[in-house]
Structure 1
Amino acid sequence: MKKQVKKDVEGQNPLLSNYSGLAQEHNKIPRDLYEKYSVKRGLRNPDGTGVVVGLTEVGEVHGYIMEEGDKIPHPGRLRYRGYDLYDLVEGFQKEDRFGFEETCFLLLLGKLPTKSELDDFNYYLGQHRELPDGFIEDMILKAPSDDIMNKLARSVLACYTFDDDPDNLDISNIVKQSMTLIAQLPVMAAYAYQAKNHYYDRQSLHIHAPEPGFSTAENILRLLRPNKKFTKLEAEILDLSLVIHAEHGGGNNSAFTMHVVSSSGTDTYSSVSSAIGSLKGPLHGGANIKVRQMMEDAMNTIQNWDNAEEVEKYIRSLLNKEAFDKSGLVYGMGHAIYTISDPRAVLLKKKARSLAIEKGREKEFHLYHLIETLTPKIFQDFKKTDRVMCANVDLYSGFVYNMLSIPWEMFTPIFAIARISGWCAHRIEEIVSGGKIIRPAYKAVAKKHLYSDIFERT
């Protein structure tokens, strides 16, 4: 029987309250020390650029030009293995086919596949989507979680047990593990959601088998929907979302996590679960949920969604910390690197318009468009700055998922399903070219103390 700990009148544990105070007191480092020792907080330079800590051939993010120490805004570009994202998307859309699997091949193996190579790659994914015997019952249904990202990380770690050679760092083995995880992560996420929906929300349990001949996007829709049905346009726009989220350079938090953890020589499953843990953070992967919540607040607050003056008033109330979560942020606007445009947002917005027409939600789409076009000037006026701002991909991704009837609990897991190809590419790159455990320096600034006997302490 658990020992009962006395609580104070507010129902709080006074012991833990005291511990909390000590933890706060003894972990507060004065801000001026960071300046004194030239610490780049967040690995960011004073001008906002990132500290260069490594080299990569996997992805390149471009949003500005540095000229004589000044950051000059520039249209955003995103390249996968040197290929412009715009060109990749135009290529597979022109040929009326899905592009995520081709993107995975490119990121993992470094080249665009031939027709036969892509067919073989798709066949492998199709044959490995099914989870191992007993996995669904023992790892998912018997231990459901109300947080799908948490369940996803635990499921990936569990894969170690089902692998005959999990710690083998031979590249052929890592490629095999990566391809299998790319195939199975959508299934794990969908089943984790169904378990959550059943055991926490008391809804019917739907466990559909993945279809080997379907693309990743088609399988996600099939596994999430009770009737397994979807339209071609729905699958196409989800496929596009997976493509544009697949990679974003080595410096984003989860990719950097993958490099750091992989550099220790640990296994693929530990590395991927660590990256999932990073992406779970609301400052990284959860922004599209915030956008959707903000937009629902906007739709409830603004009476005429076509009225630019009303929309402007709402944006100002966000900046004034009067609306939504009172954070002072307009979620979905602005980016650490992109200035004039985020290519992912440009591509997704185009498809979102088509889907909004199919779903009869053109007015809602127009409200998103007004938020995008009005915010930059309002922000400059409000903050008295000349900073150039654009919509980021999160402004439209949550709207797209909502139109696809994808539950908000799956927004960030879909991000992980897309990004695992980039993560695994960075892992392979670290194993092949890294060679050293990543260990940056931390300056110790604690005062020195003499040890005292326990009865002499205060």
Structure 2
Amino acid sequence: MSDNESLFIGRLSMLAERNDPIDQNLYQKFDVKRGLRNSNGTGVLVGLTSVGDVVGYEMQDGQKVAIPGRLIYRGYNVEDLIRDAEKTNQFAYEQCVYLLLFGELPTHEALDNFRTLLGAKRNLPDNFTEDMIMKAPSSDIMNKLARGVLASYSYDANPEDRSISNILRQCIELVSRFSTLAAYAYQAKRRFYDGKSMYIHNPLPELSTAENFLRLIRNDKSYTDEEAKLLDLVLILHAEHGGGNNSSFTVHVVSSSDTDTYSAMAAAVGSLKGRRHGGANIQVMEMMDDVKANVKDWSNENEVREYLRKIVNKEAFNRTGLIYGLGHAVYTVNDPRASLLRDKAAHLAEVKGLNEEFELYKTIERIGPEVLYEKKGDAKRICANVDLYSGFVYSMLGIPRELFTPLFAVSRIAGWSAHRIEEIVAGGRIYRPGYKSICQERTYVPIDER
């Protein structure tokens, strides 16, 4: 871009920024539900779903009452799914996908057949890796993932068929291939942007999603069973989170327009990339880098508290005033995903010799809400969310940060698929919310008179 172009765009951006601010009082005047949220913090009801549920409070006499958090998939508590997997020493993400897609727990035979089907689809179509990934690498893997989803349309012999059987076939293929897409996009990024060697390994059909992903991103293809089982747990916890989370809602909105599967899923990837959604775990890690660099004694609770106060007062880190990894739109007492990951992180930190760092995370989880209350005086209960510990777990597994959010997508494609099918079957009406225009009509001025 030339200097003149830069100056011109700069002037235009100032004009656009000056033209768009809206008086904040108008939102209350017109009872606008900002972020599709009611004044009491509950979400505006825009649909019904039987895919999943996020429970963090009960309504009593019109008031929100905090209760321990629960994550429900098709009526089943996710903690029960995980306990059963640990008891039987099984990889359970594939069972989780089956449950979300078909609404029931599989038998041994059904699960074996489903795992075989997923394993058979993990390889990308012929020439896809060379033409769609290597020839146009991206510095951000989420953008490459979205492009890979859209490019899959061109490799589908029947992309426009909206029958449930065809949509299901497309979704199963995407669920199976997302880990391969993300891993290959990472390898291309290593080669073209980081100047490192690129390793393209073939996925193995007999391996689980977690095992294949670790195999594909590591130079020597090696991983331990404990590492793969922990990643499997993370995939289960991120697979679904109700219809109201931003990316799943995006799937509903875009699917309601009667578009194709690849367009809907690419839109969801774009949503998940956002730093307020799937990108939040990277924000946590960057914040923790800053805390570790500026707090001399991590075990000194008062020193940690003082630095968190600086963050909340916008005097440190990125000056947003946010303590990343704390707070959630629904969970109040606890985020069950964070609780499960914290317990797993404790064991891995012991193995990796990172107990001191793990204790720092726990300290921030404990005193962070107190610091926020001091500043804001908001009596709303705040708990750690899944992002506080997920990035720490990924880092202990040796997974690069640029893969944190893509891994979220590798998992959440299961929930997105279930929500797309639900919208096609039960929706039947395009989403069209209202916006109140506050723009006054004006008399047009001919160009020669301006």
Q: TM-score category by the smaller chain?
A: over 0.9
In structure 2, the partner of 1:441 is 434
In structure 1, the partner of 2:126 is 133
Return the match for 2:218 from 225, 230, 233. Answer: 225
Structure 1 residue 31: Cα displacement: 2.0
In structure 2, the partner of 1:255 is 248
Structure 1 residue 332: Cα displacement: 0.4
Deviation larger for 43-52 or 445-454 = 445-454
Task: Tell me, in whole angstroms, the C-alpha distance in 1 between the residues paired with 2:213 and 2:2.
Answer: 46
Structure 2 residue 67 is the aligned partner of structure 1 residue 74: yes
Structure 1 residue 343: Cα displacement: 0.4
In structure 2, the partner of 1:407 is 400
In structure 2, the partner of 1:107 is 100
Structure 1 segment 237-386 matched on structure 2, within 5 A: 237-386=230-379
Q: Secondary structure at the match of 1:13?
A: helix
User: In 2, are the aligned partners of 1:234 and 1:355 still within 8 Å (CA)?
Assistant: no
Structure 1 residue 18: Cα displacement: 2.3
Instruction: Output one character per residue of 1:20-61: Cα deviation in whole Å (capped at 9) or x when no partner.
Output: 122123322222222222111111111111100000000101
User: In 2, are the aligned partners of 1:237 and 1:352 still within 8 Å (CA)?
Assistant: no
In structure 2, the partner of 1:86 is 79
In structure 1, the partner of 2:410 is 417
Structure 1 residue 381: Cα displacement: 2.6
Deviating beyond 4 angstroms after TM superposition, the runs of 4 or more aligned structure 1 residues are none
Structure 2 residue 14 is the aligned partner of structure 1 residue 40: no
Deviation larger for 158-167 or 313-322 = 313-322
| Alignment TM-score, normalising by the size of structure 2 | 0.98
Task: Tell me, in whole angstroms, the C-alpha distance in 2 between the residues paired with 1:321 and 1:215.
Answer: 44
Task: Tell me, in whole angstroms, the C-alpha distance in 2 between the residues paired with 1:232 and 1:70.
Answer: 46
Task: Tell me, in whole angstroms, the C-alpha distance in 2 between the residues paired with 1:382 and 1:25.
Answer: 31
Structure 1 segment 117-128 matched on structure 2, within 5 A: 117-128=110-121
Structure 2 residue 152 is the aligned partner of structure 1 residue 152: no
Q: Which amino acid aligns with 2:416?
A: W
Q: Which amino acid aligns with 2:441?
A: K
In structure 2, the partner of 1:431 is 424
Instruction: Output one character per residue of 1:159-210: Cα deviation in whole Å (capped at 9) or x when no partner.
Output: 0000011011111111111110011010010000000000111101110111
Task: Tell me, in whole angstroms, the C-alpha distance in 2 between the residues paired with 1:125 and 1:358.
Answer: 32
Structure 2 residue 21 is the aligned partner of structure 1 residue 28: yes
Structure 2 residue 171 is the aligned partner of structure 1 residue 184: no
Deviation larger for 367-376 or 178-187 = 367-376
Q: Secondary structure at the match of 1:34?
A: helix
Task: Tell me, in whole angstroms, the C-alpha distance in 1 between the residues paired with 2:225 and 2:139.
Answer: 31
| Alignment TM-score, normalising by the size of structure 1 | 0.96
Return the match for 1:392 from 385, 390, 393. Answer: 385
Deviation larger for 149-158 or 447-456 = 447-456
Task: Tell me, in whole angstroms, the C-alpha distance in 1 between the residues paired with 2:23 and 2:299.
Answer: 48
In structure 2, the partner of 1:202 is 195
Task: Tell me, in whole angstroms, the C-alpha distance in 1 between the residues paired with 2:140 and 2:375.
Answer: 37
Identity of aligned residues (%): 54
Task: Tell me, in whole angstroms, the C-alpha distance in 1 between the residues paired with 2:175 and 2:337.
Answer: 21
Q: Secondary structure at the match of 2:168?
A: helix
Q: RMSD value over aligned CA atoms?
A: 1.2
Structure 1 residue 6: Cα displacement: 5.2
Task: Tell me, in whole angstroms, the C-alpha distance in 2 between the residues paired with 1:306 and 1:34.
Answer: 45
Q: Which amino acid aligns with 2:340?
A: L
In structure 1, the partner of 2:161 is 168
Q: Which runs of 5+ in 1 are unaligned?
A: none
Task: Tell me, in whole angstroms, the C-alpha distance in 1 between the residues paired with 2:90 and 2:3.
Answer: 64
Q: Which amino acid aligns with 1:134?
A: N
Instruction: Output one character per residue of 1:357-383: Cα deviation in whole Å (capped at 9) or x when no partner.
Output: 121111111111111112122322332
Structure 2 residue 101 is the aligned partner of structure 1 residue 97: no
Task: Tell me, in whole angstroms, the C-alpha distance in 2 between the residues paired with 1:27 and 1:322.
Answer: 28
Return the match for 2:11 from 18, 37, 57. Answer: 18
Structure 1 residue 118: Cα displacement: 0.6
Q: Secondary structure at the match of 2:311?
A: helix
User: In 2, are the aligned partners of 1:345 and 1:396 still within 8 Å (CA)?
Assistant: yes
Instruction: Output one character per residue of 1:54-94: Cα deviation in whole Å (capped at 9) or x when no partner.
Output: 00000101111122222211111110011011111111111
Task: Tell me, in whole angstroms, the C-alpha distance in 1 between the residues paired with 2:370 and 2:321.
Answer: 16
Q: Which amino acid aligns with 1:48?
A: G
The count of residues paired between Structure 1 and Structure 2 equals: 450
